[in-house]
């Protein structure tokens, strides 16, 4: 699996962030690499979303936005069902109301 997080914004300012495993977790925007939080561990770990918010400008971009977001789950890639479970829990812990879409 791999994931795309689409955050609500104002007008046309939506923000999407990729959560891919190549082979380690890598946060991306388009083709740009944003953060590789732990190159020694290939899977999503609890707290990786909060780490993204704290260590990158993504946190500032979504700070004042709606807490609604869409989590797109792609069935290709190296992420696991545990990665998805931990990501969903991190989003909930951060106050996001998440709609999950499987493609």
What is the tens place of the pLDDT at every residue in 37-70?
999 999 999 999 999 999 999 888 887 778 889 9
Q: Residue holding tokens 């709609």?
A: 99
**Alpha carbon distance 74, 63 (integer Å):** 26
Domain of 21, in residue numbers: 2-102
The pLDDT, as a whole number, for residue 100 is 97
pLDDT digits (tens, 9 = 90+) for 14-45: 789 999 999 899 999 999 999 999 999 999 99
Checking if the pLDDT of 11 tops 60, the result is: no
The pLDDT, as a whole number, for residue 8 is 81
pLDDT digits (tens, 9 = 90+) for 76-85: 999 999 999 9
The count of domains in the chain is 1
**Alpha carbon distance 31, 34 (integer Å):** 9
The pLDDT, as a whole number, for residue 13 is 63
């Amino acid at each position: 699996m791999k994931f795309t997080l689409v955050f609500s914004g104002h007008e046309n300012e939506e923000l999407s962030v990729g959560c891919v495993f190549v082979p380690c977790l890598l946060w991306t925007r388009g083709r740009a690499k944003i953060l590789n939080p732990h190159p020694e561990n290939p899977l999503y770990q609890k707290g990786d979303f909060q780490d993204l918010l704290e260590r990158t400008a993504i946190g500032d971009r979504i700070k004042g936005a709606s807490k609604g977001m869409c989590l797109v789950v792609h069935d290709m890639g190296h992420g696991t069902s545990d990665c998805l479970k931990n990501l969903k829990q991190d989003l909930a812990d951060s106050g996001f109301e998440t709609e999950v879409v499987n493609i």
